[in-house]
Amino acid sequence: MRPHFATILLLVAFLLAIPVTKSSSPPGRWVEITNLKDKHVVEVAEFAVRASNGDYFIPEKQLRLSSVDAGGYWEDFGTTGGSNRRYRLVVSVINVTRNINVGRFLAVVDERQSQDKKLVSFTPLYGQ
């Protein structure tokens, strides 16, 4: 009987030593954008297209936003009482120099409380 008691005692001590962790999902919420022509949404999309102009080297390329086709954002409620957002927008882009439709892209933009924006990614959506 004594070996079992020592094993149980060791198991209980091990379980008590495991730290209790928070939920793996970050605090916040996902918000689908219903008004894709909202002034702020268009500003975020235009920022993404402008910031991406240096990412794809095509001679005489000048990309411009044609439309915001879909999107949403993750709103993270910060500890300072405000919120930060990560936008995920599907945008249609045109080349104004050659007057052609370039295609659709998934733009991911982080926006801080201070309205500072950072382009996280700008990925072509092939076959869309």
Q: What is the pTM of this model?
A: 0.71
Domain 23-124 has CATH 3.40.640.10: no
- In this structure, the number of other CB atoms found within 10 A of the CB of residue 93 comes to 22
pLDDT at residue 105 greater than cutoff 90:
yes
When the pLDDT of each residue in the chain is averaged and rounded to a whole number, the result is 78
Q: Which of 11-25, 34-48, 94-108 has the lowest mean pLDDT?
A: 11-25
Q: What is the pLDDT of residues 50-82, one digit of tens each?
A: 888 865 555 556 889 999 999 999 987 665 556
Strands 83-95 vs 63-77: parallel, antiparallel or unpaired: antiparallel
Residue 85 near residue 111, CB atoms below 8 Å: yes
pLDDT at 116: 87
Cβ neighbours of residue 80 under 8 Å, at least 6 residues apart? 113
If pLDDT is split at 50, 70 and 90, which confidence band does 25 have? low
Map out the domains of the chain as residue ranges: 23-124
- The one-character DSSP state at 80 is T
